[in-house]
Structure 1
Amino acid sequence: MKFIASLLGSASLVLAASRTSPPPGCLHVAKSGGAYSTVQSAINSLSTTSRTAQCVFIDQGTYTEQVYIPSRSAALTVYGYSADTTSYANNKATITYNLSAASAGNNDASATLRVHAANVKVYNVNVVNSYGKGSQALALSAQASSGYYGCQFYGFQDTVLANEGQQYYSQCLVTGATDFIFGQRARAWFEGCDIRVRNGGYYITANGRDSSSNPSYYLFNNCDVAAGAGESVSSGSYYLGRPWRKYARVVFQNTALSSVINSAGWSKWNGDNDVGNIYYAEYANTGSGASGSRVSWATTLRSAVSESTVLGSDYVSGAWYDASYPS
């Protein structure tokens, strides 16, 4: 681990952590000079039965490939090259692919990064599906308990599939247009993330919780919602979510909502009036998008929701969770 000194103002000296070479014991993926030239080849070389922790370091560059992480016994950490690991802003390792669900056969099969193993942590990697309009086309398919730290996820429709297990997203950038954070059973916490919308869409979340016993819960805490860089997005054109299934559960709290958010806040699914079991709520949001007359079936909370409420009381012991990030 190296450190870069940066000045803030005239008096404060802050040390920002960088990761520009493989940590000890990590497999090295690089466009040239590494032991592996593709991310998938490094993943494939790892044992799925060993219980010894594993790690992969992705050097700077753009890797045009799909990456599939199958179920395994060991915890796996994937690091990307970055001059400042506490943010996504200096990420230099990008995995990109162009594939739609219509061509792939289903949502998961279209994803650029497919995480099917529990106890995976990913740091400072950019993940892109460049397909664009016309079909679901995932950047990330998260099918197990996993954590994402200082990552970027970029797509259009259905960018991030948060589908199974306990999931944690910290200081990430998620960009999309239609239902671009979605899934059916995951308990997912988004902490300090930048949520960026693109021209041509309407809905940020599409939670698919289908019964009162389904644990799925999406919570956005200390996030920032605004138009993406270079995107021309009309005021009031976006909703925080629409319910993919009839027990959808999503909360935005302590989050800055820009003018792109419609004053109604939330939308029905294609006009479906069966919203009696939907749980859409807000607490202490700010910005012009936080004001207005919300739909009658949404809730204004009197206090913030805790991480343990969403993720369960055991979340701090999960190998996918990094309590120290972004320090």
Structure 2
Amino acid sequence: MLSYILALCLNLCLVLAASRTTAPSGALVVSKAPAKGQYSKIQDAVNALSTSSTTAQSIFIEAGTYSEQVYIAPRKAALTIYGYSENTADYAHNVVTITQKLSQNEVATNDLTATLRAWSTNFKLYNVNVVNSYGSGKQALALNAAAANQGYYACKFVGFQDTILAQTGTQLYAKSYIEGATDFIFGQHGLAWFTGCDIRVLSASLGYITASGRASSEAGYYVLDHCSIAAKSGATVAKGAYYLGRPWGAYARVAVQSSTISEVVNAAGWHIWNTGDERTDHVTFGEYANTGAGASGTRKFETKLSKAVAITDVLGSGYASAAYVDKTYL
């Protein structure tokens, strides 16, 4: 029986550890050394695609670092962007990076700071590192996920403040890496499911992982499921320096479940917004079946969950057949 289980696990690993080193049929290609018909910039490839066609679209990015901001305009077709990878199951093998360093010191809105501005529904991204290298001091997004039905698979999101804006609609983040220090998973209306993600915090005396801006009893929900929360490798983070979240909106709703939480998370678990503007009267901050040194303590404002939040409660009962959902990452 044990040998059967081990063989099954091995087969599963082999399936998941597939490579993607050539462009899928019909995909536009972006390369650091583009051949005829290829593109040197990701934005140029995106701009070459129709926004009115309903035929599925794709872009394949060859290995390299692309210093640009990418805007994906709303479109009728599903769009998938693939990064070159020799192991598509693991962000650690990613060799495609999009990076820039805009902050709200230079532009007027959060959206305009984002390295990737994803405004299209039915959008998927695989094996790409998305980086905003601005650092501390101002809002500086890696990703603005500004539309419903988006999926991010084995990606890496790097920032300091406001790394991911999961703003609206159903969104899935699977087997990805998310790094930051201040409110680095945030938004107002998103129904976002984060599963199997490594959430890493930076050196800071005080930090917050989530900042839900839910302002009424609408559907918005952020769920961190089977994730790992710890300091970034090499970063010095004091015990208890971080909180799982604080309420940007008065009806903030976040759950952390079946996750491993290291001692970087404070025993209080959750934090007010600001002194004199606490915003805690209507929050739902839930935890269930977490482990690790940071998973226990005298939790403030916590809602005791009697069971795990179901993925259907966030992504809907038909999520498994949705075009943006890749079940091989779940």
Distance 1:259 1:205 in 2: 17
Structure 1 segment 55-94 matched on structure 2, within 5 A: 55-94=58-97
Q: Quick one: distance in 2 between partners of 1:111 and 1:66?
A: 7
**1:119 is matched with which residue?**
122
Question: What is the letter of the counterpart of residue 100 of structure 1?
Answer: S
Compute the displacement of 1:126 (Å): 0.2
Alignment-derived partner of residue 253 in structure 1 = 257
> How far has the Cα of 1:324 moved from its partner?
2.4
- Structure 2 length-normalised TM: 0.93
Aligned counterparts of 1:323 and 1:137: Cα–Cα separation in 2: 31
The one-letter code matched in structure 2 to 1:150 is: A
Residues 1:126 and 1:273: Cα distance change in structure 2 (over 3 Å): closer
Shift of 1:159: 0.3
Distance 1:274 1:109, change over 3 A: closer
How far is the alpha carbon of 1:135 from its aligned partner?
A: 0.3
Partner of 2:139: 136
Aligned to 1:153: 157
1:69-128 C-alpha deviation (Å, 9 max, x unpaired): 000000000000111001101000000001002311110000000000000000000000
What is the rounded CA distance, in whole Å, between the counterparts of 2:235 and 2:308 in structure 1? 32
The AA in structure 2 aligned to 1:49 is S
Q: How far apart in 2 are the matches of 1:46 and 1:12?
A: 39
The structural deviation recorded for 1:215 is 1.7
Q: TM-score of the superposition, structure 1-length normalised?
A: 0.94
Tell me the residue number matched to 2:311.
307
| In structure 1, distance between residues paired with 2:104 and 2:81 | 25
RMSD: 1.6
Give the Cα separation in 2 of the matches to 1:154 and 1:30. 22
Q: Distance in 2 between matches of 1:291 and 1:279?
A: 17
Residues 173-225 of structure 1, C-alpha deviations (whole Å, 9 max, x = no match): 0000000000000100000000000012410000000001x221000000000
Deviation at 1:12, TM superposition (A): 5.3
Displacement after TM superposition at 1:49 (Å): 0.5
Residue 29 (str. 1) matches residue 34 (str. 2): no
1:223 aligns with 2:223: no
Per the TM alignment, residue 33 of structure 1 is displaced from its structure 2 partner at its CA by: 3.0
Equivalence for 2:268: 264
Q: CA deviation at 1:310?
A: 1.3
Give, in whole Å, the separation in 1 of the partners of 2:322 and 2:252.
Answer: 25
Look up the match of 2:209: 204
Q: Which residue identity lines up with residue 224 of structure 2 in the other structure? A: F
Distance 1:275 1:157 in 2: 22
* SS of structure 2 residue aligned to 1:226: strand
1-structure distance, mates of 2:257, 2:321: 24
Q: Which amino acid aligns with 2:273?
A: W
Change (3 A) 1:274 1:100: closer
Which sections of structure 2, spanning at least 5 residues, go unmatched?
1-5
- Residue 3 of structure 2 is matched in structure 1 by none
2:249–2:279 contact (8 Å) kept in structure 1: no
CA displacement, residues 44-83 of structure 1 (integer Å, 9 cap, x when unaligned): 0000000000000011000000000000000000000111
Q: Is the 8 A contact 2:18 2:87 kept in 1?
A: yes
On the 8 A contact 2:247/2:279 being kept in 1, the answer is: no
Aligned to 1:288: 293
The change in CA–CA distance for 1:104 and 1:166 in structure 2 (over 3 A counts) is same
Shift of residue 314 of structure 1? 3.0
What SS does the aligned partner of 2:314 have?
helix
Aligned length: 316
Q: Which moved more, 1:314-323 or 1:285-294?
A: 314-323
Verify: 1:45 aligned to 2:48, yes or no. yes
Q: Greater shift after overlay, 299-308 or 48-57? A: 299-308
Residue 96 of structure 1, aligned match among 88, 96, 99: 99
Runs in 1 of length 4+ with deviation above 4 angstroms? 11-14
Report the Cα distance in structure 2 between the residues aligned to 1:70 and 1:234, rounded to whole angstroms.
Answer: 41
Q: Which amino acid aligns with 2:24?
A: P
**Cα gap change, 1:274/1:101 in structure 2, threshold over 3 Å: closer, same or farther?**
closer
Cα deviation 1:133-178 (Å, max 9, x = unaligned) = 1100000000012100000000000000000111000000000000
* 1:4 match: none
Aligned-residue offset at 1:318: 2.4
